[in-house]
């Protein structure tokens, strides 16, 4: 496909406004629509119109939001976990992110790289935006500090802590994309169109382009093509009326001299100098793929995997609530990554002055070999009252017995009739 995590070459990963499945911020947990359902999409489509007012970490203003129109999907960003107290939740139960959004290690708080800070001093967690009442896709305002109050003035720096360089008394700005950078301006949050970039890289639609839309396998070969693609599969010089052809010839690929079996893929291709001999870093992707074309330089150090997805946040999604004569029936989807062993359902009563009466229901657990159910009936809900519901998951990864608790699912507001 030849797409990039930031939309274009050298664009940063994890932009709040880059509504794309290539963006790590929206990859493992999906792009959530108005119903809170998981979607896979690229930016620049008719359904994924880019926000037109990028935020600025140095002057976050909730009333400006990110767009004058609705966003294609719910926004996602990071807040200190103390902000989750607004949900009536003991925020200490939520596990802070243990890696940056792009998967890079948190680093040493006492010796951070220039222009960065180390560790996670604010215990940042990932949250999904709720928009405004009745419209979870509202482009403005955006409740950046997650306190359910519209702040009229631009944010001031957070209280100083000893973790933030270059001086222990220096205030710091919110790190909404949690990349460990002290402060970022508009240019670091300007969205790009995946499809425009991929089209520019397609030599059929853009003569002189590269390999856009040709990477359709599970990974790239040494030459940036899908695994299994051979010279005979390419359009060579003289084979098209327009003269368009691929620059990768059989000679370059090493297939012409003695064939694939003798000295091609088996002898000196993937097995000899690819995956088996020296791995991706030796002569595969790092040599002519992502690292060579700038992806590594622009912030994508690691491909996302299960442990990384759990490290940056992985919540239940698609929560719905339906009033019945037996109570309020809740249903949701299991987190996309990890082994879910528990669910905890939370409820808040909504009044004219705010939320009250936080209720935590008994933990839902599974049995050996059986995951916990993704449904719950609240038989204590009173009629003519409105309630917020959300769900938190307890997750394990691999063979670990340690349970880490996710960030909250989407909130669902219901009037019990």
Say whether pLDDT at 293 is over 80: no
Rg (CA), the chain: 24
Report the pLDDT averaged over residues 27-45: 87
pLDDT of residue 92: 81
pLDDT of residue 249: 45
Give the H/E segment covering residue 308: helix 306-312
pLDDT of residue 188: 84
Give the pLDDT band (50/70/90) at residue 295: very low
Q: Can you tell me the distance from the alpha carbon of 58 to that of 27, in angstroms, rounded to the nearest whole number?
A: 26
pLDDT of residue 352: 75
Give the pLDDT band (50/70/90) at residue 266: very low
Q: How many CA atoms are closer than 13 Å to the CA of 112, on its beta-carbon side?
A: 22
Give the pLDDT band (50/70/90) at residue 256: very low
Whether the Cβ atoms of residue 104 and residue 25 lie closer than 8 Å to each other: no
pLDDT of residue 319: 94
Q: Give the start-end residues of each E strand in 249-384.
A: 317-324, 327-333, 339-351, 354-360, 364-365, 375-378
pLDDT of residue 398: 66
Phi and psi dihedrals of 414, rounded to 5? -135, 135
Query: Which residues fall within 8 angstroms of residue 241, CB to CB, at 6 or more apart?
Result: none
Two structure tokens written together for 235? 């359009």
pLDDT of residue 265: 37
Q: Domain locations in the chain?
A: 1-220+289-305, 221-288, 314-416
Mean pLDDT, the chain, as a whole number?
A: 73
Whether the Cβ atoms of residue 36 and residue 317 lie closer than 8 Å to each other: yes
What is the pTM for the complete model shown?
0.70
pLDDT of residue 252: 43
**Which of 204, 197, 227 is CA-nearest to residue 50?**
197
Q: Can you tell me the distance from the alpha carbon of 173 to that of 365, in angstroms, rounded to the nearest whole number?
A: 39
Give the pLDDT band (50/70/90) at residue 168: very low
pLDDT above 70 covers what percent of the chain? 65
Architecture in CATH of 314-416: Sandwich (2.60)
Helix residue ranges, H only, 194-274: 194-200, 250-253, 259-263, 265-268, 270-273
pLDDT above 90 covers what percent of the chain? 19
Report the pLDDT averaged over residues 377-381: 93
Higher pLDDT, 124 or 243: 124
pLDDT of residue 346: 94
Say whether pLDDT at 126 is over 60: yes
pLDDT tens string 60-101 = 888 888 888 888 899 999 998 888 888 888 888 888 988 898
> Cα–Cα distances in Å, from 233 out to 56, 144, 251?
47, 50, 14
pLDDT tens string 321-355 = 999 888 999 999 999 888 899 999 999 888 877 77
Higher pLDDT, 154 or 185: 185
Say whether pLDDT at 248 is over 50: no
């Amino acid at each position: 496909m030849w797409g990039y995590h930031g939309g274009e070459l050298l664009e940063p990963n994890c932009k709040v406004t880059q509504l794309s499945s290539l963006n790590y911020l929206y990859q493992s947990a999906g792009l959530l629509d108005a119903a809170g359902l998981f979607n896979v999409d690229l930016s620049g489509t008719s359904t994924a119109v880019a926000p037109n007012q990028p935020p600025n970490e140095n002057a976050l203003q909730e009333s400006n939001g990110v767009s004058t129109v609705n966003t294609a999907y719910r926004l996602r960003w990071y807040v200190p976990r103390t902000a989750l107290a607004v949900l009536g939740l003991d925020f200490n139960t939520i596990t802070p992110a243990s890696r940056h959004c792009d998967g890079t290690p948190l680093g040493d708080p006492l010796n951070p790289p220039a222009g960065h800070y180390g560790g996670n001093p604010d215990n940042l967690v990932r949250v999904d935006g709720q928009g405004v009442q009745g419209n979870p896709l509202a482009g403005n305002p955006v409740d950046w500090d997650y306190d359910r109050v519209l702040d009229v003035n631009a944010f001031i720096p957070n209280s100083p802590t000893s973790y933030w360089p270059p001086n222990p008394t220096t205030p710091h700005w919110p790190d909404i994309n949690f990349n460990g950078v002290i402060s970022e301006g508009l240019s670091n949050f300007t969205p790009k169109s995946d499809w425009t970039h991929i089209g520019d890289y397609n030599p059929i639609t853009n003569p002189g382009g590269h390999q856009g839309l040709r990477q359709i396998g599970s990974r790239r070969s040494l030459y940036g093509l899908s695994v299994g693609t051979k010279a005979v599969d390419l359009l060579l010089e003289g084979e098209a009326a327009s003269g368009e052809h691929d620059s990768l010839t059989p000679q370059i690929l090493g297939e012409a001299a003695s064939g694939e079996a003798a000295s091609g893929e088996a002898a000196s291709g993937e097995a000899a100098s690819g995956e088996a001999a020296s791995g991706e870093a030796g002569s595969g992707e790092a040599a002519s793929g992502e690292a060579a074309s700038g992806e590594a330089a622009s912030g994508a150090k690691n491909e996302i995997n299960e442990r990384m997805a759990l490290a940056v946040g992985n919540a239940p999604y698609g929560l719905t609530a339906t009033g019945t004569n037996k109570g309020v029936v809740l249903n949701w989807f299991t987190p996309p990554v990890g082994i879910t062993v528990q669910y905890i359902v939370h409820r808040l009563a909504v009044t004219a002055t705010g939320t009250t009466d936080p209720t935590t229901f008994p933990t839902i657990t599974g049995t050996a070999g059986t995951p916990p159910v993704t449904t719950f009936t609240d038989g204590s809900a009173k009629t003519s009252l409105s309630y917020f519901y959300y769900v938190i998951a307890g997750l394990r990864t691999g063979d670990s017995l340690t349970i880490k608790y996710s960030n909250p699912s989407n909130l669902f507001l219901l009037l019990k009739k």
